[in-house]
Amino acid sequence: MAYRVAMDIGGTFTDVVCYDERSGRVAAAKAPTTPGDLADGVFAALERAAVDPAEISFFTHGTTQGLNALLERKGARVMLLTSAGVRDVYQIARGNRERMFDLRYRKPVPLVPPSDLAEVGGRYDWRGAELTPLDEDAVWAAARRARSEGFDAVAVCLLFSYVNPEHEIRAGEILAKELGDDVLVVLSHEVAREWREYERTSSAVLEAYTGPVVRRYLSRVEARFAERGLRVPVHVMQSSGGLVNAAYAMRRPLRTLLSGPVGGTMGGVAVARLLDRGNIICVDMGGTSFDVSLVVGGRPDVAVEARIEGFPVLMPVVNLHTIGAGGGSLAYAEAGALRVGPESAGAVPGPACYGRGGTRPTVTDANLVLGRVDPAWFAGGLMTLDAEASRTALAGLADAVGLDTTALAEGVCDVANAKMAQAIRTLTVEHGIEPREFALVAYGGAGPMHAAFIARELGIGQVVVPRFPGAFSAWGMLEADIRRDLTRPYFTSGDDLDPYAMSGALAGLALEALEELAGQGVPRDRMSVEHAVDMRYEGQDYTLTIPLRSAAEPSAPGFAQALAARFADAHTARYGHATPEAPVELVALRTTALGALPRVAAAVPAAVEGAGAVRDVIFNGTAHPTPILRRDTLRGETPGPAVIVEETATTVVPPGCVARADAGGFLIIEVGA
């Protein structure tokens, strides 16, 4: 019982990171992802890491099984029960157009066709008072149809169930009686206790559509682990950045839908703690996309809703901003202009230098021509790159835009870097924060190659390249805590606030959340709970989540004024203005319970001996003789220019920057102007 193991199942590779509690040694390995049954890849990766399941003391992973089912439209067959009269809310999907100039606009195809909708009589008013009773016969009829036609899941979304869930609960009982355990029944108020019927319906449908797939997958993983002697529960990353055990994940599968990429953000949280820096920008650059997320004040930036494949989902999700920029992004000419991305060469044919038939130049080709990629070390030496093919691909474009090949190559990187810097700015603008107050943590195969340039663009002074940058998401999962988020609608104007009722409601939420943690085996002394309230000025829509000191705080004297002031401060920080005299309203209470897990205390291996080669690398149009260094040989400070190579990534240290291998195993680049 000595290994803590985390796994990130990506589109191409499954990464595994193992921490040996006895020696402090951390190791990473990877195996090909097995798209049909991800469990195969999980065990293959475990074998590569040479860990005996019986020796695992803790296991967690991020899985894309549910997401894949959605992307490929291979989810469950779902019946949807709606309130009578409003059956088409899901199909209408609020009627907006995401693209403004498109005469042939089509909405995403709904996951439930109109033929699989069933209307159920029964209605509440806005306060949850019953206007008409639930038509139980209609529910029974739908349940019988679901059974006879072999539906895999039933989603139920009735109007105002977030205020009064009784009708949904009763419908759930009838469905369970008729359908047993084989059919997943999803009640919208359990998925998301928030207003907006379309968004809540969409969330419930997504859970019903992906849930059976996730459940099957988790049962399989658990069974196979048990066969191999694993004696601890399997954990899963949630989209919120917190962990849950598989038993809970099978009850609330939706919360694991975006579990992969958030591992990196949780890694960012750990970096923030280890380096004692509260604010971190996490950038993950791979072959096709660039994901940015934030750690603010030591906490992951978590949004309360997201959109997946065009479908809204109400659940806590680490706020990831993604743009199409990666090593595979294509460079091309348009009306005399140079453009880079978002179209990508993907894995096949891939960049020209892969030698798989690609002829159009990509960002990776540009890096190769500039000497910033070592052809022998790419992907840990698993692939050799054809620099001549890159040069040929770039030369064609260079003619079209009137530049020489080397200048174009640097330009392609500059444009890609500028776009990535802008993506970061977009996310920080939404929060009203300045990027230059942050450190940038770079990971993914291509992140460390571009990070220093992006940082310079934004005036950021420090870049952190973690160990195993290619497997950082898995590493981050080892640093996450068990987490349960609860939300309750709490609609009241600031003037009418009943402080004791609010404290009571928060205490009730805390009790519920802590009980759930106890159910997942978290000991009492490792539990903590946080409270917050969603607020806005009367009439506003977007709310700000304002932290509370405790469940008891509302009943303390002067709370209303303190809360209004805290809200005004947050509004000013975020939007640059506030209206202190305007009435405020409270919309929802949020409670998060955390179960702290033991931290990794990684031993950093001593530097090994090894001399680097020196090669010309282009920076600012000039060839600089640049040492190519293995990361495990670094000691103390390494001034730029330098190229630092390791198994899964290459770090570029431009002239004017200094890289330093710190005691915690991080590579820290101080970015000079």
Partner 1 sequence: MTDPITTEIIRCALAQAAEDMNTTLIRSSYTPVIYEAKDCAVALLDRDHNVLGQSSGLPIFLGNLEVCTRFTEEEHGRDVWRDGDVWVLNDSYVAGTHLNDVTVYGPIFVAGELAGFAASRAHWLDMGSKDPGGSMDSTTIFQEGLRMGPVKVYASGAPCADLHEVIARNVRFPYATLGDMRAQVSCVLTGQRRLTEIMARWGVDTVHAARDEIFAQTERMERAAIAAIPDGVYRSGGFLDNDGIDLATPLPVNVVVTVAGETIGVDLTDCADQATGPVNCGAAQAVAAARVAYKLLLSPDVPLNGGSFRPLTVATRPGSMLAAESPAACQYYYSHLGLIIDLVVKALAPVLPDRAAAASYGDSLIVQVSGVDPRTGKLYVSQEATVGGWGAWNGGDGESALINNVNGNLRDMPIEVLETLFPIRVTRYEIRPGSGGAGRWRGGDGVIREYEFGADTALSLWFERSVTPAWGLAGGDAGAPPHVTLNPGRPGERAMLKVNALPVRAGDTLRCESGGGGGYASLDEDIHGA
| Smallest distance, partner 1 to C-beta of residue 163, A | 9
What does the block give as tokens for 649? Answer: 């990534």
Stretch that binds partner 1, among 25-33, 216-224, 243-251, 539-547 (CB under 8 A): 539-547
- Rounded Cα–Cα distance for residues 460 and 438 (Å): 6
Interface positions, 578-607, toward partner 1 (CB under 8 A): 579, 581-583
| Smallest distance, partner 1 to C-beta of residue 497, A | 16
At 173, is the secondary structure helix, strand, or coil?
Answer: helix
Q: Kindly tell me the sign of the dihedral angle through the C-alpha atoms of 273, 275, 278, 283.
A: negative
In the bound state with partner 1, the residue whose beta carbon lies nearer, of 22 and 104, is 104
Taking CA 343 as the corner, what is the angle to CA 341 and CA 344, rounded to the nearest 5 degrees?
A: 100
In the bound state with partner 1, the residue whose beta carbon lies nearer, of 48 and 425, is 425
Please, which residues bridge with residue 629 across strands?
Answer: 644
What does the block give as tokens for 440? Answer: 């940038």
Do 596 and 528 contact (CB within 8 A), yes or no?
A: yes
What does the block give as tokens for 151? Answer: 């539906």
In the bound state with partner 1, the residue whose beta carbon lies nearer, of 198 and 377, is 198
Interface positions, 82-101, toward partner 1 (CB under 8 A): 85-89, 91-101
How does 325-350 read in b/e, with b if 16+ C-beta sit within 10 Å?
bbbbbbbeeeeeebbbbebbbeeebb
Interface positions, 180-199, toward partner 1 (CB under 8 A): 195-199
Give me the helices (H) in 546-644, please.
559-575
In the bound state with partner 1, the residue whose beta carbon lies nearer, of 155 and 659, is 155
Stretch that binds partner 1, among 257-265, 474-482, 537-545, 609-617 (CB under 8 A): 537-545
| Smallest distance, partner 1 to C-beta of residue 162, A | 8
- Rounded Cα–Cα distance for residues 306 and 300 (Å): 15
For residues 222 to 261, the per-residue mask of contacts with partner 1, x marking binding by CB under 8 A and - elsewhere, is: ----------------------------------------
Place of tokens 């195996």: 31
160 touches partner 1 (CB under 8 A) = yes
Interface positions, 100-129, toward partner 1 (CB under 8 A): 100-107, 114, 125-126
| Smallest distance, partner 1 to C-beta of residue 97, A | 6
In the bound state with partner 1, the residue whose beta carbon lies nearer, of 458 and 513, is 458
| Smallest distance, partner 1 to C-beta of residue 544, A | 10
402 touches partner 1 (CB under 8 A) = yes
In the bound state with partner 1, the residue whose beta carbon lies nearer, of 14 and 428, is 428
- Rounded Cα–Cα distance for residues 373 and 145 (Å): 60
- Rounded Cα–Cα distance for residues 331 and 281 (Å): 26
- Rounded Cα–Cα distance for residues 152 and 135 (Å): 23
- Rounded Cα–Cα distance for residues 335 and 575 (Å): 38
| Smallest distance, partner 1 to C-beta of residue 449, A | 18
Interface positions, 356-395, toward partner 1 (CB under 8 A): none
- Rounded Cα–Cα distance for residues 81 and 603 (Å): 55
162 touches partner 1 (CB under 8 A) = yes
524 touches partner 1 (CB under 8 A) = no
673 touches partner 1 (CB under 8 A) = no
Taking CA 365 as the corner, what is the angle to CA 614 and CA 472, rounded to the nearest 5 degrees?
A: 80
Do 123 and 132 contact (CB within 8 A), yes or no?
A: yes
DSSP state of 633: G
Do 631 and 646 contact (CB within 8 A), yes or no?
A: yes
Give the one residue of 401, 507, 518, 607 binding partner 1; rule: CB under 8 A.
401
Give the one residue of 22, 23, 348, 577 binding partner 1; rule: CB under 8 A.
577
- Rounded Cα–Cα distance for residues 643 and 660 (Å): 13
What 3 state SS string does 18-66 have?
EEECCCCCEEEEEEECCCCCHHHHHHHHHHHCCCCHHHEEEEEEECCHH
Give the one residue of 148, 541, 601, 635 binding partner 1; rule: CB under 8 A.
541
For partner 1 (CB under 8 A), the number of binding residues is 72
Interface positions, 605-644, toward partner 1 (CB under 8 A): none
- Rounded Cα–Cα distance for residues 187 and 489 (Å): 16
For residues 418 to 447, the per-residue mask of contacts with partner 1, x marking binding by CB under 8 A and - elsewhere, is: xx--x--xx--xx-----------------
| Smallest distance, partner 1 to C-beta of residue 88, A | 5
| Smallest distance, partner 1 to C-beta of residue 184, A | 25
- Rounded Cα–Cα distance for residues 385 and 399 (Å): 24
Give the one residue of 574, 615, 624, 630 binding partner 1; rule: CB under 8 A.
574
Stretch that binds partner 1, among 20-28, 273-281, 403-411, 461-469 (CB under 8 A): 403-411
| Smallest distance, partner 1 to C-beta of residue 222, A | 38
| Smallest distance, partner 1 to C-beta of residue 491, A | 7
| Smallest distance, partner 1 to C-beta of residue 85, A | 4
415 touches partner 1 (CB under 8 A) = yes
Interface positions, 24-83, toward partner 1 (CB under 8 A): none
For residues 324 to 363, the per-residue mask of contacts with partner 1, x marking binding by CB under 8 A and - elsewhere, is: ----------xxxxxxx-----------------------
488 touches partner 1 (CB under 8 A) = no
| Smallest distance, partner 1 to C-beta of residue 200, A | 8
167 touches partner 1 (CB under 8 A) = no
Stretch that binds partner 1, among 34-42, 50-58, 248-256, 576-584 (CB under 8 A): 576-584
Give the one residue of 491, 515, 523, 620 binding partner 1; rule: CB under 8 A.
491
| Smallest distance, partner 1 to C-beta of residue 196, A | 4
Give me the helices (H) in 86-196, please.
89-92, 136-148, 166-179, 188-191
Place of tokens 């979304």: 157
Give the one residue of 492, 540, 550, 633 binding partner 1; rule: CB under 8 A.
540
Count the Cβ atoms, other than its own, within 10 Å of residue 456.
Answer: 19
Instruction: Give the Å distances, CA to CA, from 324 to 17, 206, 424, 538.
Output: 27, 25, 13, 38
- Rounded Cα–Cα distance for residues 157 and 189 (Å): 8
Stretch that binds partner 1, among 18-26, 442-450, 558-566, 575-583 (CB under 8 A): 575-583
Give me the helices (H) in 371-494, please.
387-401, 405-431, 447-458, 472-478
Q: Which of 599, 609, 600, 606 is nearest to 663 (CA)?
A: 606
| Smallest distance, partner 1 to C-beta of residue 366, A | 11
Radius of gyration, alpha carbons of the chain: 26
Query: Phi/psi at 4 (nearest 5 deg)?
Result: -100, 125
In the bound state with partner 1, the residue whose beta carbon lies nearer, of 8 and 194, is 194
DSSP state of 156: E
Place of tokens 């998925």: 191
| Smallest distance, partner 1 to C-beta of residue 662, A | 31
| Smallest distance, partner 1 to C-beta of residue 590, A | 19
